[in-house]
Amino acid sequence: MSAKNITKTNVARLLDAAGIDYELIPYTVSEDDLSAVHVAAELGEDIDCVFKTLVLEGDKVKNFVCVIPGAMEVDLKKAAKVSGNKSCELIPMKNLLPLTGYIRGGCCPIGMKKPFPTYIDESCTLFDTIFISAGVRGLQLKISTDALVKYVGMTVADIVSSSR
Span 73-92, pLDDT tens digits:
999 999 999 999 999 999 99
pLDDT at 131: 97
Contact indicator for 42, 28 with CB cutoff of 8 Å? yes
Average pLDDT over residues 119-139: 96
pLDDT at 163: 59
Cα separation values, 49 from 30, 37, 84, 85, 86, Å:
20, 11, 27, 28, 29
Rounded CA separation 77/143 (Å):
29
Q: Is the pLDDT of residue 2 over 80?
A: no
For the entire predicted model, the pTM comes to: 0.94
Contact indicator for 119, 155 with CB cutoff of 8 Å? yes
CA dihedral 36, 41, 45, 46 (to 10 degrees): 70
